[in-house]
């Protein structure tokens, strides 16, 4: 055990010494990786900050059934009663809005009053506004009810008033997929940068590695400092990326606060939780170490 620890401590010292031997090159590579990592961190900050806002939006899906204009006067009340009886577990309220009530409401709006005054009659249909229960909020039941009620003989059209909520959920899902693809692209950047860095180090020390092999050094002993070199680069770059993302959020939140205040709301972007950032750092360190292993194995075969 002591021998194993001594070998790893030696490899760690060699890796740090190699990083410090070329400070400008090492810093440039770490900066490239950190800038690439800061982009998905900022994107994740927007996503995790927007999700609670979407969940807090009060959602009570409403279905509006527009009857045909030639439907009898009592058809709306009869249909509303039928709907309450047929779907008692899904319907909280079924409210009838007569064509006369709808016309009076439009006439109260100055923008519509002049246009409606020249019409010979009332072109509006009777309507039934159906409020669903909370249990149906984010299920597909509202959509299936709308499809079912569109087939009713006296119904001309059905409008699902909370479509925008599902659109918001679809946008968030699209953002999560985009973030995953972005993270994959950044992982490739990390792999390529560390691969090239270790390649240059391996080619520079090619003769030293050859001598070490001649005197009995194992492949694990040769590769171990390069693995630590890649892992250290990944960890330092991840920490720097988190700092850069935190600094970038300050002006973004200042501008966002002015925009949100104009709508009377508060919205602040914040970094993902510490556990997520720690796991991301570990993943980046592992990817960097694997890239370093691949590079040193590929470029020291002689």
Residues 139 and 198 in one domain: no
Q: What is the pTM of this model?
A: 0.62
Q: Count the helix, strand and coil residues of the chain and give each as a percent rounded to the nearest 5.
A: 70, 10, 20
- What is the C-alpha to C-alpha distance for residues 162 and 89, in angstroms, rounded to an integer? 19
3-state secondary structure of 265: coil
- Evaluate whether 172 touches 50 at the Cβ level (below 8 Å): yes
What token pair was written down for 121? 């009659």
What is residue 143's predicted lDDT score, i.e. its pLDDT? 77
Q: Is there a single domain that holds both residue 190 and residue 252? A: yes
Quote the tokens at residue 269.
């972007």
Structure-token pair, residue 162: 């909370």
| pLDDT in single tens digits along all 302 residues of the chain | 777 777 778 777 877 887 787 788 888 888 888 988 888 888 888 888 877 665 555 556 678 889 988 888 788 888 888 888 888 888 888 888 888 888 788 777 766 667 666 667 777 888 988 888 765 444 567 778 888 888 888 888 888 765 656 666 677 778 788 778 888 888 888 888 888 877 777 777 666 666 666 666 676 777 788 888 888 988 999 999 999 999 999 998 888 888 777 766 677 888 988 998 999 899 989 988 888 888 877 766 64
Rounded Cα–Cα distance for residues 255 and 84 (Å):
49
> What CATH code is carried by the domain that includes residue 112?
3.30.70.3040
d(CA 266, CA 276): 25
Q: Are residues 35 and 178 in the same domain?
A: yes
- Pick from 27, 49, 43: nearest CA to 240: 27
**How much is the pLDDT for 136?**
47
- Do 215 and 100 belong to one domain? no
Q: Are residues 7 and 139 in the same domain?
A: no
Quote the CA–CA distance of 99 and 58 in Å, as a whole number.
Answer: 29
At 279 the pLDDT is 92
Domain boundary among 128, 160, 192: 160
Q: What residue numbers bound the domain in which 34 lies? A: 2-57+166-299
Q: How many domains does the chain have?
A: 2
**Distance of alpha carbon 187 from alpha carbon 167, whole angstroms:** 30
Residue 243 and residue 143 share a domain: no
CA pair distance 151, 144, nearest whole angstrom: 11
CA angle 209, 214, 216 (to 5 degrees): 95
Q: At which of 107, 140, 160 does a domain end?
A: 160
Residues 226 and 272 in one domain: yes
Q: Tell me phi and psi for residue 132, to 5 degrees.
A: -85, 160
45 with 75, same domain? no
User: 30 with 139, same domain?
Assistant: no
- Report phi then psi at 70, rounded to 5: -95, 10
- Residue after which a domain boundary falls, among 129, 160, 191: 160
Q: How many CB atoms lie within 10 A of CB 239?
A: 15
Same domain, residue pair 43 and 137: no
Q: Which residues pair with 62 in a beta bridge?
A: 131
Compute the distance between CA of residue 99 and CA of residue 123 in angstroms, rounded to an integer: 8
Query: 3-class DSSP state for residue 217?
Result: coil
Going from the C-alpha of 39 to that of each of 98, 154, 247, 258, the distances in angstroms are 54, 54, 13, 23
**φ, ψ for residue 95, nearest 5 deg:** -110, 130
Residue 295: CB atoms within 10 Å: 24
Question: Do residues 74 and 156 both lie within one domain?
Answer: yes
Cα–Cα distances in Å, from 161 out to 76, 164, 190?
19, 8, 46
Are residue 121 and residue 140 in the same domain, yes or no?
yes
């Amino acid at each position: 055990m002591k021998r194993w620890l001594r070998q790893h401590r030696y490899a760690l010292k060699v890796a740090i010494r190699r990083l410090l031997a070329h400070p400008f090159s090492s810093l440039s590579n770490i900066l490239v990786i950190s800038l690439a990592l800061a982009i998905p961190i900022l994107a994740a900050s927007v996503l995790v900050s927007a999700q609670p806002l979407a969940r807090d939006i009060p959602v009570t899906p409403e279905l509006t059934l527009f009857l045909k204009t030639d439907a009898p006067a009592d058809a709306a009340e009869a249909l509303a009663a039928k709907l309450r009886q047929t779907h008692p577990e899904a319907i909280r309220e079924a409210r009838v809005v007569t064509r006369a009530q709808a016309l009076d409401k439009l006439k109260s709006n100055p923008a519509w009053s002049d246009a409606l005054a020249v019409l010979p009659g009332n072109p509006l249909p009777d309507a039934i506004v159906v409020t669903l229960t909370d249990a149906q909020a984010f299920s597909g039941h509202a959509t299936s009810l709308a499809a079912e009620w569109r087939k009713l003989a006296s119904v001309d059209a059905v409008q699902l008033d909370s479509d925008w909520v599902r659109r918001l959920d679809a946008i968030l899902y699209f953002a999560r997929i985009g973030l995953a693809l972005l993270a994959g692209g950044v992982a490739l950047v990390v792999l390529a940068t560390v691969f090239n860095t270790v390649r240059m180090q391996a080619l520079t020390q090619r003769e030293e590695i050859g001598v070490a092999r001649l005197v009995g050094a194992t492949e694990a002993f040769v590769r171990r400092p390069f693995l630590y070199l890649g892992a250290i680069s990944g960890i330092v770059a991840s920490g720097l990326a988190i700092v850069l993302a935190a600094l970038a959020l300050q002006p973004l939140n200042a501008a966002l606060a002015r925009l949100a205040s104009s709508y009377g709301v508060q919205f602040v972007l914040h970094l993902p939780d510490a556990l997520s950032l720690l796991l991301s750092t570990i993943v980046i360190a592992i990817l960097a170490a694997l890239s370093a292993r691949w590079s040193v194995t590929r470029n020291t075969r002689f």
